[in-house]
Structure formats: C-alpha cells, structure tokens
Homo-oligomer: A and B are copies of this chain.
Amino acid sequence: MISTVINQELSIEYPIFQGGMAWVADASLASAVSNAGGLGLIAAMNSNGEQLRAEIKKCKEMTDKPFGVNIMLMSPFADEVADVVIEEGIKVVTTGAGNPGKYMEKWLEAGIKVIPVVPSTALARRMEKLGAFAVIAEGGESGGHVGELTTMALVPQVVDAVNIPVIAAGGIADGRQVAACFMLGAVGVQVGTRFLVANECTIAQEYKDKILKAKDIDTVVTGKRLGHPVRCLKSSYTREYTKAEYNSSVVSDEELEAMGAGVLRLAAREGDVKNGCVLAGQVASMVTKEEPCRDIILDLFTEAEKVLGGASKWVK
C-alpha cells in the first residue's frame, strides 16, 4: 500500500487529511476520518476557545487515533484557540487564511507539527523558515476560500521551493487524482468535498443533496473583488452576489461583505441551500454516493495504487 513520510511521521494509516471545513468539520467527521486511517481535523473557525476544547474532548472520546485542528487565522478567537490546542495536547495543527507566525514558537515548543495551507511558493518558503513540518499546497479548484493557482500549477512549484513534505489539496475526489498529485511531487493529499457526503458528516441533508446532484460546471467563485474569493455551488444567492460584485459604484464593499455573512452556516446547519452558500470544490460533480469515511479512503487509495502501479504501461 501507499506509504510516505506523512503517514509514517503522523502515525496514521494513509497519507490523507480531511479538510478543516468550517461549520462542517466537527468531532463526528474528524473522529470518523481518523478511525478510518486518515487524519481527521476539527475546524476551529467558528469556535471560541471553550467551544473548541469541548469539541476536542468529544473527539477524544470517539477515537484513540491521532487527529488535528485547523485554525483559521482570520478568526477573532485565533489567540485563544491557539492556546487550547496546546493545552489539549493536539499533535497536528493546520492553518488557513494567513500567516501563523505569531503562534509558531509556542506550538513548536509544545511538540505540535504545524502544517499551513499555502496558495503560493512565497508563503510556502516563509512557513518552512518558521519551522513548519510540511505544507498543504491547495489549488483554487478546491471549495471554500481559494487561491488563484491550481493544483496542477501550484504543487510542483511548491515542491521545488521547499525542502519539507508537500501535501496536495484541491480537485481530489478519486484515486486518479491522488496518483496525479504524487506525480507532481506531493507525498500526501487533503480531501474536502468528498467527505462532505460521508455518513459521519453532520451537515444538513439538503447540503449533501446539492453536492450529490452537482454537475461539473456548477461551481463559481465569489468574493474576488473583496480579495477573499470563495468557491461554492451556483444558486440564486450566488447570482445575486455576482451581480452586486460587478457593480462597485452601487454596491459598496461593506454591503458586499454583509451579503456574505452567515450564509455558510445557513446552508450547512439549517439546510437553506437557496439563500445560504454551499461551499464545494470543482470535483463536487464526481461525488455521487453517501458512504462511510472508511469506504471513501479505501476507494481513493485502492484506485491510486492501481493507477500508480500501472503507470509504466505508457512507457514503451
């Protein structure tokens, strides 16, 4: 089976992370992914310190395998959750939406492996200098907050830029894509969208149904004008938003910002997928089945092993 520095050093079975999706990645999903042989991640984005601590404690009751926490650096609670992960003995922290520099020293002292999500070679290099164990090079085909560079373009450039392991994210929903990421030089993958419809994922059924029905051209990026683009499924909400986005002299940045507030929670937790925002990657259309996390991981790696094993068939 596939084995790299990632699963070996993190004491997990397969080199796969579950994306730290806000309003999605709770103890239920994270523990299920960890029990299934990957690295589950609790998203700290929408939690204050004590809420995160409660979720971590819950997760510890649901699995004895390693799991991590994803910290969104823009969060107003970033300072307190940065301490909670230390106090709770979390071994892996992934970070998004910014530079985790101010927390690195204490995390490293606590023995935490820090693995930042990076959208560019410059940030990857900075993270390596600060002591990151690895980086997650995330392409803009992923769901949620996205960078401009795609997985195909970004991963090999990050691999060349740093000497630490690189995990690929964005556009990965089957074993062919896992194998492709290995060809690009990655030694692990992070998967988000496919785990949205895992049995153990607690989001609203309406959200899952929208993923299951998505076609290949159904995602759109909103929020570029404000400098924080987000990929989601097209809906009446995104049509309204896009119209407003292109009308900067009528709809101010503040008004546009307000249009984005609370819309993910509305879709993920209340199931309002019309007025809410259904974050998803471009591979939503490849996700067609609800199943346990274990089946998802086995399917990904069984196919990847087969594809990688047969790679030399092209070379005559």
Q: A: which residues have CB within 8 A of B?
A: 1-4, 119-122, 139-141, 148-154, 156-157, 170-172, 174, 176-177, 179-185, 215-217, 219-220, 225, 245-250, 281-283, 285-286, 305, 307-309, 311-312, 314-316
Cross-chain contact A152 with B180 (CB below 8 angstroms): yes
Q: Which of B180, B247, B281 contacts A184 (CB 8 A)?
A: B180
A184-B180, A246-B225 as given contacts; A150 in contact with B157, CB under 8 Å:
no
Cross-chain contact A312 with B314 (CB below 8 angstroms): no
Q: By CB atoms of chain B within 10 A, which of A120, A247, A249, A315 has the most? A: A315
Q: Which of B3, B140, B220, B250 contacts A150 (CB 8 A)?
A: B140
Which residue of chain B is the closest to A171 with respect to CB atoms? B152
Q: Which of B140, B225, B247, B308 contacts A183 (CB 8 A)?
A: B308
Q: How many copies does the complex hold?
A: 2
Min CB distance A268 to B, Å, is 22
Min CB distance A7 to B, Å, is 10
Cross-chain contact B141 with A152 (CB below 8 angstroms): yes
- Name 13 interchain pairs, CB-CB below 8 A, sorted by A: A4-B314, A149-B217, A150-B171, A152-B171, A152-B180, A176-B183, A177-B183, A179-B311, A180-B180, A183-B311, A225-B246, A246-B248, A312-B312
If over half of A's interface residues share one DSSP class (helix, strand or loop), that class is named, otherwise mixed; here it is: mixed
Chain B residues with CB under 8 Å of A121's CB are: 215-216
Q: How far is the CA of A285 from the CA of B257 in the complex (A)?
A: 33
Cross-chain contact A157 with B245 (CB below 8 angstroms): no
Min CB distance A304 to B, Å, is 8
Chain B residues with CB under 8 Å of A249's CB are: 247, 249-250
Cross-chain contact A285 with B157 (CB below 8 angstroms): yes
Which residue of chain B is the closest to A120 with respect to CB atoms? B217
Q: How far is the CA of A281 from the CA of B4 in the complex (A)?
A: 31
Cross-chain contact A217 with B148 (CB below 8 angstroms): yes
Cross-chain contact B248 with A216 (CB below 8 angstroms): no
Q: By CB atoms of chain B within 10 A, which of A180, A181, A305 has the most? A: A180
Q: Which of B122, B156, B172 contacts A152 (CB 8 A)?
A: B172
Cross-chain contact A150 with B156 (CB below 8 angstroms): no
Chain B residues with CB under 8 Å of A180's CB are: 152, 180-181, 183-184
Cross-chain contact A152 with B174 (CB below 8 angstroms): no
Chain B residues with CB under 8 Å of A307's CB are: 183
Min CB distance A225 to B, Å, is 5
Min CB distance A76 to B, Å, is 28
A216-B120, A216-B157, A250-B249 as given contacts; A316 in contact with B2, CB under 8 Å:
yes
Chain B residues with CB under 8 Å of A153's CB are: 141, 171, 216, 281-283, 286
